[in-house]
A and B are shown apart, each in its own frame.
Chain A
Amino acid sequence: MNAKDEPLIKTPEDLAAALRIAAELEHGLCCQYLFAGFTLRRTLDDFADLPDIPENDKLHVMALTQGWAMQIMLVARQEMEHLMMVINLQTALGQPPHLKRPDFPVPRKTFPIDAHFCLERVEPTTLDRFLFYERPDYLAEEMVFDDPGCCGRLPQVTRPLTLRSHGSLQFKIKSLQELYEQIAGAYKGENQLPAAELFRGSAARQVQSSAVQWFARVNVPQVTNRAQAVAAIAQIVFEGEGIGEFPTSPNSHFARFAGVKQEYKALARARPSAADPELPSPDPALPVACNPAAGDEIPPGATRITDEAAVRAMRLFDDGYFLMLAMLRGFFETYQGNFGTFPTFPGAAPASALFLEGFYPFMTMFIRPLGELICRLPAGPEHPGKNAGPSFALQGKEPPGMQDLDWYADRLAALDRDSHALHAFLADREDRYGAPAVLAAERQRQVLHRMLLNLPRLWKEGVLNP
C-alpha cells in the first residue's frame, strides 16, 4: 500500500498519529547520528589505545573524521530542524509538541523502517544503517539492508514495540518517504482534510527560524496554509532523501552518508602504513559499547555500563537531556511570535528564557561536550577495552509542557550539584581517568552553574545581556 492507493490518513486523528510517528523518527535519528559523531577519534589523545600507529596515519584519520563529524553533525542538526517542522505541523493541527520516544535499542518495524534504531559507534554497519534510513524509495530494491542487529549482533532484540502514540497507523507505512507522502496527502489532493481542521492551532505559536536567528543550514518555515505545509514536507524529504533532484540532491543526508561511507571504505582498503605495512589501519572510531545504558532498568539489547564515573556522567546526561526537552516543549507551547531582534526578545519572557537556555546552551555546551566525554570514559570491568556512551534515555517519561520557574530551576540545581560531584569524583581519580576528562567535567560544572544562575534573570527579563 502506498500514497497512490488508499490513503492511510483519513481523519485529523490519523494525521496527529502520523505526525507523532514522524516526530519520534526525526528525534530518534538525531540521537543516533549525534551518538555516532561523538564516537569518532578526533584528537591524538583519542589514539591512546593504539600506540603503535604512526603519527602521520593518525593525522590522516583525524582529517577524515573531522570531515565525517562535520557531515554527521550537520545531518543531526537538520533532523532537529525536521523535528521542529513537524512540531509546527502539530501546532497548526492544535496538537502539543511530541517529544517522547522509546529508548534504544528500538526493535525493527517499531517505526516504518525495517531496521533497528541503535546507538552504535561509526563502523560500516552503522553507515549502512544510516543510508537505509535515508534512502529514497526508488532505491528500495537496490538497497537491501539485511539488518544484522545493533553493532552487528542481536538480530532481533524483541518484537516491535506497540506504542500508543502511533495509533492504528503502525506497521502500515514502509519508509520515511512514504510516511511523509501520506502526511502530504492530508494537505493536498483528493483526500485532503478540511483546512479548518489542519490549521486550527495558533499560527503565532509556530516558530520560524529567521525570527529566532537559527543559522548553520537550519531553515524552519511557518505552515499556515496548504501550500506552506506541502512545501515544508517537500523540504524534509529533499534534505533527507534528496527527493526533488535526480538521482538525489548532492546535499541530501543520503548523499552525505554515502560520501562518508566511500571514504571509510577507502581508508579500510588503503595500504596501512608506509612505515610498516604490517600495521593495521587505525580504527577511526573509539571502542564505544553498543546501546550503552545506566538506568535502573535497561532495555533488552542494551549494554549495562558499570564504571562509576561513566554511570554518573550518563545519568547527568539523561537528566539534562530530559530537562532540555522539557524546556523546548515549554518554549514551543508558549512562543507567541513576539520575539524582537535577536537576542533582545523584548516582552517575550519567559518563553525567551526557555529558548535562551534550551537551544544553544543545552545543545552545544551540554549534550555534545558531555556526550563526547562519556564516549571517552571506560564502560566498566565487565567490558574490557570498551568505552561508555550517552544513552539518551527517557525511561518512559514524557517531557512536560510549560512549568513554573521553580520546576526548571530545581532541575538545573540538581544538574549543577551532580556535575559538581562528577567533577570531584574524576578529580580524585585523575590517574585513572586522565586530565582531559577532569578538565571536561570541570568545564561542564561551570557551564551548568552559570546556566542555573542565568535562569531567574532570563525568566524575568528575557534578555541575555541588559
Chain B
Amino acid sequence: MSETHLLLQFEGWFQCRLATDPDPTWEPRGVSGYTRALGRESDFDGILYLQQGDIPDLERNYRKGETSLSNDVGVRVTEAAIEGGKPLDVLKDAQVRLLRGPQYILWNQIVADGVERLVPLIVPFEIEIRKKLLGGGEIVLRRYDPLVPGEIGDRFWETGEPRLYLGRLPVNYVHLSSEVMEAINVFDFNAYFQRRKEWLQLEIADTKDPVEREALEIRLSLIDDSSQSPDPVASPGLIENRLGLQCTWEHDVRGEACFEGADLLGGEVLAGGIDEPDLFWRTRFWHGGWDGDLFRCFMKGSLRVPFRPR
C-alpha cells in the first residue's frame, strides 16, 4: 500500500519565561535584559509550555494582563485531515505539546545568532498531539527528533559544526511580520502596550500586597524603559518591537514515534506504518507575537504524518 499523510494544523499561545540578552542564558531572574522574574514568581526555567496546565506553580508564574488581550496559553489543533480526503474532526482541538522541557538555544552567540536576528534551535524537540475523547479513550501521536542522530543526540555542546543540525535551525526570520500581526490581531504595538500600562496602573492602585504591588510597578517601569528610551544609544523598544517578530522552523521529525488510539481515528485511517522509523514526520511552524511582559508567544504551524492505510 502506498503511503499517504495525516495533515494537522495547529495554533495558539504558549509561555516561556526566560532571560534575555545581554543576561547570561541561565540568569535566574533577569538583570540586564528586558525580561525579569518578579515578586513571588519562580526563577526562570526557559521552557516552552504549550498548555496552561503544564506551567509549574501556575498561580505564581502566569502573569495577567488586560482581559481583552489575555493571551490564554493553549496550542491546539485547528484542522485535521487525511491528505486529499475528508476532515478528521475527531482530532480537532487536540492539545499540542513540546515535551522533554524544550528551550530556545542561542547561548549568547555561542550556538546561534541572537542579537539582531533571533534564530534559535529548539532543543530537545518532541512533539505530541493528544486528544481525550468525550466518549472515553485517548488518541496520542508523539515523536521525538534528535538534534544530531547518533552519539551527539541533543548534546549540541559536543560539536562545533552547525552543519550537523542545519535543518533544525530556523528557515526564516522576519522582524516585523504582517502574518503575525493578523494572527494575533494587533496592528498598533504602541497602543497594545499602552493598554497594558493602563491596566497595570489600575492593578497597582488596587493591590494591597506589597510584594505584588512592587512586582506590578517593576513591570510598568520595564515597559516604559524598554519602549521609549530617552537614551539615544539604547536599543529602541525591545518589548514593543519584539511583538512583530516571526521565526519559522521546518524540519523532519525522525526519532522514536508513538501512536495510541489508532482505532479511535475511524476505520479508513487505521495507521499501520505511522510509527515506522523510516517514515519521517515533517513539521513547519512559526513563533511570533512575543509579548515580553506576559512571556507569551503565538505559535502556528502544521504537522505532516505519513502512514500506510490498511
- Point out residues on A near B: beta carbons under 8 Å: 37, 42-43, 56, 59-60, 62-63, 66-67, 69-70, 73-74, 77, 213, 215-219, 251, 342-343, 356, 359-361, 363-365, 368-369, 440, 443, 446-447, 449-457, 464-466
Contact = CB atoms under 8 A, between A and B. Distances in A.
B38 to A, nearest CB: 7
Given A360-B109, A364-B23, A450-B111, A63 B214 contact: yes
Contacts of A63: 38-39, 211, 214-215, 218
B112 A66 contact: no
B129 to A, nearest CB: 30
B113 A465 contact: yes
B30 A368 contact: no
5 A-B pairs with the lowest CB-CB distances in the bound complex, closest first: A453-B160, A219-B233, A360-B109, A450-B157, A446-B157
A465 B31 contact: no
Contacts, number: 129
A259 to B, nearest CB: 13
Nearest to B111: A450
Contacts of A453: 157-161
B32 A450 contact: no
Given A60-B210, A364-B22, A450-B160, 9 more contacts: A66-B31, A67-B218, A74-B32, A217-B233, A360-B108, A365-B110, A447-B107, A450-B157, A453-B158
A440 B26 contact: yes
Interface in B38-66: 38-40, 43
B115 interface: yes
Interface in B246-303: none
Given A216-B22, A450-B110, A62 B115 contact: no
Contact of B29 (A62, A215, A440, A447): A62
18 contacts: A43-B29, A59-B211, A77-B32, A215-B115, A215-B235, A216-B235, A219-B232, A359-B109, A360-B115, A361-B110, A364-B108, A365-B108, A369-B24, A450-B157, A464-B112, A465-B112, A466-B163, A466-B166
B188 interface: no
A449 B157 CA distance: 6
B210 to A, nearest CB: 7
B197 interface: no
A365 B114 CA distance: 14
A443 B111 CA distance: 14
A440 B28 CA distance: 11
B157 A365 contact: no
A80 to B, nearest CB: 11
A457 B211 contact: no
Nearest to A367: B24
A365 B163 CA distance: 23
B162 A361 contact: no
B32 A216 contact: yes
B156 interface: yes
Instruction: Please indicate which of the listed interface residues A215, A342, A452 has the most CB atoms of chain B within 10 Å of its own CB.
Output: A215
B110 A60 contact: no
B36 interface: yes
A465 B230 CA distance: 35
Given A70-B31, A73-B31, A368-B24, A457 B110 contact: no
Given A63-B214, A454-B160, A364 B24 contact: yes
Contact of B25 (A56, A219, A365): A365
B214 A342 contact: no
A466 B21 CA distance: 22
Nearest to A452: B160
A342 B210 CA distance: 44
Contacts of A215: 115, 235
A218 B24 contact: no
Given A63-B215, A450-B110, A465-B112, A443 B26 contact: yes
Given A440-B26, A447-B157, A466-B162, A66 B36 contact: yes
B116 interface: yes
B72 to A, nearest CB: 27
Nearest to B234: A217
Nearest to A251: B231
B169 interface: yes
A446 B157 CA distance: 6
Contacts of A466: 162-163, 166
B219 to A, nearest CB: 11
A371 to B, nearest CB: 10
A343 B233 contact: no
B237 to A, nearest CB: 12
Interface string B220-255: 000000000011111100000000000000000000
Contacts of B29: 42-43, 62, 66
A356 B162 CA distance: 15
Given A60-B210, A360-B108, A343 B22 contact: no
B160 A457 contact: yes
B278 to A, nearest CB: 28
Contact of B162 (A74, A443, A465): A465
Nearest to B236: A215
Contacts of A56: 210-211
A60 B218 CA distance: 12
Nearest to A213: B115
Contacts of B26: 369, 440, 443
